[in-house]
Amino acid sequence: MSNSVVEVRVRALIPTGTGCAVFLGNEEKVFVIYVDPSVGNAIGMFINRQEKERPLTHDLMALLLEAVGAKVERVVINDLKSGTYFGRLILSAENEIQQKKIIELDARPSDCIAMAAQQRAPIYVSDAVWDEVEDMSEVLEKIEQSRESGSGEESE
């Protein structure tokens, strides 16, 4: 990768009134991306490896990728403009004579996170975005503490 990035993982999924807060981060910092309820639900199901009766949209995308010999290599949350995050889905495809091709697609970060969770691909954040986002580590810690003392639910 030509630009510097920081590897993150989904630290928690918290339902909100209008969707889901996806807490991404590492030991150094945590930040939040808000996603619509259906994608938040899909991310949770992929993280927890829940069985589904029928394929969801992200399952269909994975089946299509597999059918053409491609897979998700990584995802990158590469930009933040006016409160909107931007993402890149990095795919690799290998043809029948083992020629490898890297394909980079513009995608919503929520879809990137869902595809990464589904295929166990790494999630990266560009240094520029990482430096710009507010650290929400304390907020996440308080939410997790209140869940442990209240309902006993797990955050992941």
CA gap 1, 14 in Å, rounded: 31
Beta strands 84-94 and 30-35, pairing class: unpaired
**Which residue is it, tokens 């890149």?**
88
Q: How is the chain split into domains, by residue range?
A: 5-149
CA gap 76, 89 in Å, rounded: 7
CA gap 8, 10 in Å, rounded: 7
Q: Which two tokens stand for residue 53?
A: 């009766």
Single pTM value for the model: 0.86
CA gap 72, 110 in Å, rounded: 14
pLDDT in tens, the chain (156 residues): 456 999 999 999 999 999 999 999 999 999 999 999 999 999 999 999 998 888 888 989 999 999 888 999 999 999 999 999 999 999 999 877 778 899 999 999 999 999 999 999 999 999 999 999 999 999 999 988 888 877 544 444
CATH class of 5-149: alpha beta
Q: Please count the other Cβ atoms lying within 10 Å of the Cβ belonging to residue 61.
A: 18
**Which residue is it, tokens 């029928």?**
54
Q: What is the pLDDT of residue 1?
A: 44
Q: Which residues pair with 84 in a beta bridge?
A: 81
Question: Please, which residues have CB within 8 angstroms of residue 27's CB and are 6 or more apart in sequence?
Answer: none
Using alpha carbons, select from 72, 155, 86, 85 the residue that is nearest to residue 116: 72
**Which residue is it, tokens 């931007």?**
86
Q: Are 135 and 6 in contact (CB under 8 A)?
A: no
